Amino acid sequence: MKIKQLVDLKFDNRFINELPADQETINNRRQVFKACYSLVHPTKVSKPQLVAYSKEVATLLDLDTNTCESDEFTQTFVGNQLLADMVPYATCYGGHQFGHWAGQLGDGRAINLGEILNQQNQRWALQLKGAGPTPYSRTADGLAVLRSSVREFLCSEAMHHLGVPTTRALSLISTGEYVIRDMFYNGNPKAEPGAVVCRVAPSFTRFGHFQILAARGELDLLKKLINYTITTDFPHLGKPAPETYIAWFTEVCRTTAEMIVHWQRVGFVHGVMNTDNMSILGLTIDYGPYGWLENYDPGWTPNTTDAEQKRYRFGHQPQIAFWNLGQLANAIYPLIKKEQPLQDAMDSYSITFEKGWQTMMANKLGLHKFNPSTDDDLCAELLVILQLVETDMTLFYRQLAKIDCSQGLNDTQLESALHTLATIYYVPEQITSNYQERLKQWLKMYGQRIQSDQRSHTERFNQMNTVNPLYVLRNYLAQLAIDKAEQGDYSGVHELLDVLRHPYTEQDGKDPFSAKRPDWARQRAGCSMLSCSS
């Protein structure tokens, strides 16, 4: 049964009820010690307007359509009014940013409204992003602009429909006010429309929540937080104790590895894999300067801040996740005081990732299962070939699925295969005869591998198209929706959200959403690289 009034939401608020609060109640920037959160109210705005909401997330929260389209909904999820059981707060955490310890960070522009229990007794935390300053905002204003909010809202839902573990987004609401931002930190600030996103997840706890307590030597509070986390978010692990902590960390390693495999599968690049942007639930969190690979380039990062170092480039994401888990291991070590169990858990990350990657590649190529004796070389050569010329990664696998390899490929069929793949390249003049010969050799090897599986073309085609998306949130598509939204036209957001609900199914009349990046978008701001302001 759907809830027709927001007042009927059942708030549990276990986080603030079971963990210690900051004793200071004035909302000024400061270091917060011996506390997991600070109470803080959202900043009221002048003229909020609902831009979009996710009907799927509304269903998770038992909300009906009329409720989501009501003024009460807009006023509540922009932060203008609080429901009776809402006790808003911002949490304290630290983290490594670009490999360096940054000390206290915290919810600088996120304000939690509390946790609810839906009718299935599932716990969902509600969090506003861009609702004003908190004690953790440092020198920032705690606000968000419409362009970054559109990107966060759309990507949260796009990733869910792709099957990638992620936090969700309930709503996107414009504030009717302007926010000053220097998009590329190059001395060109301008006023942009403001907005607030309501994010939803079972928990927003990050690696950094544990790191800050360990760094400060607040070990009693560290123990209290890990006990709370296990009891609330990992009850299946049993009563908190040192051995349970190890089991918990092992599970965090496993789910993190599974998440990264999904990122690599769909070509997603997070852009800011700092430890404070890592969820203990193995969920993708914090959609800032993210991007999807257009041409396959393991060295690409969408983040201008990372353009030189490229720490968070696509091909380095598995190693960064491993490094980040090492920092979490360091944080909880004082509660375990044994290195080997933590090392064993870290090893489980590597094992899970390798097996997951092999299964993922087998599925992407339509193989029955991964056979290292043949498929290590097959995949290694493919990943080299994809880099030789600018090849659209998303479209490559979709076009490959169309090639009937069930009986292998003869010379005539190889020429036909090259024709099928001709549409996926960004610079046609790069397609030399040497490249074509190397690609044909790979296709011939691939055809033999498919033939050995004795799979029909239809079976392989269907398998490949359930793991290789046709529609992804390319940066230029998001920017086109943003351009309209900044003029008060939200139709682009709605249409893109609707298309991304079914990323694996070809949709009539939606060819522009599956097209490779146009030339005009190659260097345009917002369509290629983005800053942390994005």
What are the residue ranges of helices labelled H in 365-410?
372-388, 393-402
CA 346 to chain centre: 22
End-to-end CA distance of the chain, in Å?
A: 38
**Residue of 251, 182, 175, 222 lying closest to 34 (CA atoms):** 222
CA 428 to chain centre: 32
Q: Is the dihedral of CA 433, 439, 441, 443 positive or negative?
A: negative
347 is catalytic: no
Q: How many Å apart are CA 301 and CA 278, to the nearest integer?
A: 18
**Residue of 147, 98, 79, 106 lying closest to 22 (CA atoms):** 106
Q: Read off φ and ψ for residue 112, nearest 5 degrees.
A: -80, 135
| Amino acid present at 226 | I
Question: Which helix (H) or strand (E) segment is 341 a member of?
Answer: helix 339-364
How far is the CA of 163 from the CAs of 103, 159, 178, 507, in angstroms?
Answer: 34, 6, 35, 18
Active-site hit among 107, 276, 306, 375: 276
| Amino acid present at 39 | L
Residue 258's SS3 state is helix
Angle in degrees, 0-180, between the axes of helices 339-364 and 242-266, rounded to the nearest 10: 30
Say which residues have a Cβ less than 8 Å from residue 133's Cβ, sequence separation at least 6. 27, 29, 43, 108, 109, 140, 141, 142
Asked if residues 186 and 73 have their Cβ atoms less than 8 Å apart, the reply is: no
**Residue of 83, 281, 77 lying closest to 169 (CA atoms):** 77
Residue 120's SS3 state is coil
**Residue of 428, 431, 426 lying closest to 476 (CA atoms):** 426
What are the residue ranges of helices labelled H in 237-316?
242-266
Residue 37's SS3 state is strand
Active-site residues, by number, are 276
